[in-house]
């Protein structure tokens, strides 16, 4: 098999473009927005239900708004808390936590099927099942 200079250039270009695609894919995966949601109920004389939004990515995240609701059936929701006017574009810095305190007296008597819906600018809305 006799290879000329164009064959070597074609192989070099294919290897170089493959390496560039792999590096780009790695940087996109590494720099994507990662958010974790946890919750806790603090009892005592003044009980509070707290939802913690952890930004575990290297970029700041802008929280557009959030909704807490109880899912009755797959198509019906009972909204518990939805303060769009209280959290207008809250910025969560990298590796920081934003705490949302909710009065537990606003909750229904049955706490099953609680869902927390988070709207972050630049991402699709994400639902987190809390119970």
Per-residue model confidence as pLDDT tens digits over 31-71: 788 888 888 877 767 777 788 889 998 888 888 888 887 77
pTM of the predicted model over 0.95: no
Residue 83 CA to residue 27 CA, distance in Å, equals: 35
Q: How far is CA 9 from the centre of its chain?
A: 44
What would the pLDDT profile of 110-121 be if each residue is shown by its tens digit?
A: 667 778 888 888
Chain mean pLDDT for the chain: 81
pLDDT at 85 over 60: no
Q: Specify the pLDDT at position 97.
A: 92
Q: Does domain 35-129 have CATH number 1.10.10?
A: no
Residue partners of 71: CB distance under 8 A and separation at least 6: 77, 113, 115
Residue in this structure with the two tokens 């099953």, named with its chain if needed: 112
Cα 75 to Cα 42: distance, rounded to the nearest angstrom = 31
Distances (CA, A) of 27 to 58, 89, 92, 105: 12, 26, 22, 45
109 phi and psi, to 5 degrees? -65, -30
Percent residues over pLDDT 90 in the chain: 21
Domain boundaries, the chain: 1-30, 35-129
Kindly tell me if the per-residue pLDDT of 89 is higher than 70.
yes
């Amino acid at each position: 098999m006799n290879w000329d200079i164009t064959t070597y250039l074609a192989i070099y270009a294919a290897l170089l473009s493959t390496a560039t695609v792999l590096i780009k894919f790695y940087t996109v995966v590494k720099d994507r927005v990662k958010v974790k949601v946890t919750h806790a109920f603090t009892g005592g004389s003044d009980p509070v239900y707290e939802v913690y939004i952890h930004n575990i990515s290297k970029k700041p995240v802008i929280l557009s708004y959030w909704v807490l609701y109880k899912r009755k059936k797959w198509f019906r929701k009972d909204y518990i808390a939805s303060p769009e006017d209280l959290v207008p574009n809250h910025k969560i810095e990298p590796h920081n936590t934003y705490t949302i305190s909710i009065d537990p007296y606003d909750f229904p008597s049955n706490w099953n099927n609680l869902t927390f819906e988070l709207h972050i600018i630049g991402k699709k809305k994400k639902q987190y099942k809390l119970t």
